[in-house]
Structure 1
Amino acid sequence: MSEFPYERLRRFPDVEAPNLQAHDATDLLLVERGLAVASDRGLTGAEIVVIGDGYGAITLALADAGLGGLRVHQDLATGRRALVHNAAALALTRNQDADRVSTNTEAGRAGSHPAVGTIFVPHELDAGLLTGARLVLLQLPKALAELEEIADAVARWAADDVVLMAGGRVKHMTLAQNDVLARSFARVQPQRAERKSRLIVAEEPRDVPETPPFPVQATHDSVGTVGALTLAAHGGAFAGARIDIGTRVLLDVLDRVPPGDVVVDLGCGTGALAAVYALTHPGVHVIATDRSAAAAASARGTMIANGLAERVEVTHDDAGSELADASADVVLLNPPFHLGTSVHTAAATRLFEAAARLLRSGGELWTVYNSTLAYRGELTRLVGPTEQVHRTPKFTVSRSIRR
């Protein structure tokens, strides 16, 4: 078998830069050890699950080694699309129309793309992903809560003899990850580090509680002008069921945002901004969208908890790419400044560009950001005239008018 061409993988449609790769040493280690375990145990691809595969490096390397029908869960819409693009680029499928592939897994299972159902089958983090699985390969998530939800899901649904191999870069790993895995598995064995990466092998699933630990809910008092607000959160949702401080700063001035026929909460997280705006503007069509499946699922839970399930549309999408151009009157945005474990402002730039595309002429983008990032010039260039409307010791809220 020839060596897999990892260097040909791309991050597209995610942020690409000279210092950002579509694979890392942990991917290679998971593939090497995963293939060895699969061979020793005589596993088929359908018995193998891959979770957290950033851009398809693990899935496609396993497929290239002859394992088909792999079950895959990726949280990010960009990762799901990158997996399809990379499969096409490496001739693992003949379909060259990957730009139009939906991140919706039901569409994928229906056969909208030849790679889906043949070399890999996309799933959400559910029983369909894990039932009968005997080997799970996991790129360790950044949040312990996300790891807890994944570990519980594996223990809950996978086969009794499942082996969970979780890998990460040593500099980002902590002993707390071992402790989280030990809640769901009786045997947790960290391996020796190789190429600055390390694997943790977990076996012998423990009995799980009747009710899964996620999503969690928390009710917050005195949120903007609405009083109490309940947030739901899956493990992978940023800030969990808390209201992060940047969002709270924007919530404090949300009553100054003008009404509009269509309002988009771009990068909605658990949906706090969308929920409060919908509660205070009953006649407005509010759309909450996020590239994280955990965030989108959390936002749906938030809308249900606040009686907004019929009034707020929640989508899992890459920077609102499935929403029509010039379709929004207002965009609300609390952009991230991290890409995985790296500090990188390009993610915010993509969302500024998305807001400019979504807004009608004269529409308004309301953005909150860490004041040290000084986004005003970039917002003016990408969207239109920008002014500061509120400032705290740490955060700035700005309003940009679409040219």
Structure 2
Amino acid sequence: MNRLVTASGELELTRFPHRPQDPLRAWDAADEYLLRHLDETGGPQGALAVLGDRWGALTTALAAHGPVQISDSFLARSATRENLLRAGHEPAAATLLTTRDAPPERVDTLLVRVPKSLALLEDQLHRLRPSLHPGTVVVGTGMVKEIHTSTLRLFEEIIGPTRTSPAMKKARLIFATHDPSLGPGPGPWPLGYSLPEGIGAVSGRTVVNHAGVFCSDRLDIGTRFLLEHLPRLPGARRIVDLGCGNGVLGLAAALTHPDAEIVCTDESYQAVASAEDTFRANGQADRAVFTAADALGSVAPGSADLILNNPPFHSHQATTDATAWRMFQEARRALAPDGELWVVGNRHLGYHVKLRRIFGNCSTVAGNPKFVLLRAVRRGR
């Protein structure tokens, strides 16, 4: 937990799930810069929307203005709720929407925390443009390394004339002016493509990707490696695609295990929507449950026979193994006795060490110079 100093006082903020020894803060210089700018210019006016607030720092600091937060992250929304309560605000102080919800009908002030994914920014600016008007104040913020010419071009093409501020503490602001004469048209998302041949049951199948989902225009090579060695457990009753992305692993499990229920879960709402649309495009939508959650929070203990996992090792711009560690711990809780966790990851990440510590066992199923496929079994009851 750490303290963000604002014009109205100090805020104790935390990421979610809260880890006392977590060295990563719930805010950074980009959040500070934007809040300082708002304080110096009289604060946000009218109906306020906050897009992409990473851990709720902006929403919490501006709770008195009744903000609408729009987020793709289950974890960010959970952190926002906790931070609002910690700051003494009622749950109704802010409206928390996902990127899949209908945007507000009118936005007078739009604050944009620039996301890592340029595609997600493009998609959300397209979705929000009808809510804007010539008087809408649009201010983006991000670290200098997150703001590129392509970022500014999106604001220019979808919103209107755009300029940037000087850098401060390696952060920068973006100012865009709504141009009613622009006709950017509909956004290009979602995108679909056919999987290549040679990867078993899903060869030639259709995959659907909403904006912001990892490897949205091609099959991730780590996922392909797991597909090439996909386990078959004829007696499996429930199989979980953990961190499902576009759901291709879950789809492969559904096609090779016709009697199993499939659970596709991810902390990204865009990913969950992608997985559901992928299943629907392949006539398998009634085979699966799709849920946004923290790791396996939606899966009952001891209920899964097989869990497939290609864990991320980044949290926004930070490299961290905290997500993988939590996924592995949650997998052990969710697995039935003798249930199996199959993990694909970059060889250098050393996931086998964590898996042995958590499960007491770990075997290597396959490997190549870049990736390793690992199997851990839930022993005992």
TM-score by length of 1: 0.87
Query: Letter of the aligned partner of 1:196 in structure 2?
Result: K
The aligned residue for residue 273 of structure 1 is 249
Cα deviation code 1:186-220 (max 9, x no counterpart):
201111112211011112242232x4321111111
| Alignment: residue pair count | 371
Matches within 5 A, 1:1-400: 3-6=8-11, 8-13=12-17, 17-35=21-39, 39=43, 43-44=45-46, 47-63=47-63, 66-68=64-66, 70-93=67-90, 115=91, 118-125=92-99, 128-205=102-179, 206-209=182-185, 211-222=186-197, 223-256=199-232, 259-400=235-376
What corresponds to 1:103 in structure 2? none
Alpha-carbon separation, structure 1, partners of 2:314 and 2:19: 11
Aligned residue for 2:202, secondary structure, equals coil
Tell me the residue number matched to 2:3.
none
Alpha-carbon distance in structure 2 between the residues aligned to 1:297 and 1:317: 13
Change (3 A) 1:241 1:130: farther
Distance 2:266 2:62 in 1: 29
3-state SS of the aligned residue for 1:186? coil
Residues 191 and 217 of structure 2 are in contact (CA less than 8 Å); yes or no, is this contact kept in structure 1?
yes
1:150-174 per-position Cα deviation (integer Å, ceiling 9, x unaligned): 2212223333432321111112321
1:35 offset after TM fit, Å?
Answer: 4.8
Give the root-mean-square deviation of aligned CA atoms: 1.9
CA distance, structure 1, for counterparts of residue 234 and residue 170 of structure 2 = 51
CA contact (8 A) 1:60 1:87 kept: yes
CA contact (8 A) 2:7 2:39 kept: no
Aligned partner of residue 310 in structure 1, secondary structure = helix
- Cα distance between partner residues in 1 of 2:204 and 2:360: 35
Identify if the C-alpha distance between structure 1 residues 127 and 325 changes in structure 2 by more than 3 Å, giving closer, same or farther: closer
Distance 2:345 2:57 in 1: 33
Native 8 Å contact 2:165 2:173 kept in 1: yes
Cα gap change, 1:295/1:271 in structure 2, threshold over 3 Å: closer, same or farther?
same
Cα displacement (A) at 1:392: 1.4
Deviations, residues 276-330 of structure 1 (Å, cap 9, x unaligned):
1112222110000000111111111111111111111110111021221111000
Counterpart CA distance in 1 for 2:81 and 2:72 is 14
- Classify the secondary structure of the residue corresponding to 1:86: helix
Offset of 1:20 from its aligned partner?
0.3
TM-score w.r.t. the length of structure 2 is 0.92
Change (3 A) 1:271 1:224: same
Work out the CA distance in 1 between the residues paired with 2:85 and 2:362. 41
How far off its partner does 1:126 sit?
Answer: 5.6
Identity of aligned residues (%): 33
Cα pair 1:4 1:61 within 8 Å, conserved: no
Q: What's the offset of the Cα at 1:82?
A: 0.9
- How far apart are the structure 1 equivalents of 2:284 and 2:41? 47
- 1:257 to partner: Cα distance: 5.3
Q: Distance in 2 between matches of 1:13 and 1:188?
A: 36
1:259 Cα deviation from its structure 2 partner: 4.7
* Cα distance change on mapping 1:337 and 1:2 into 2, 3 Å: closer
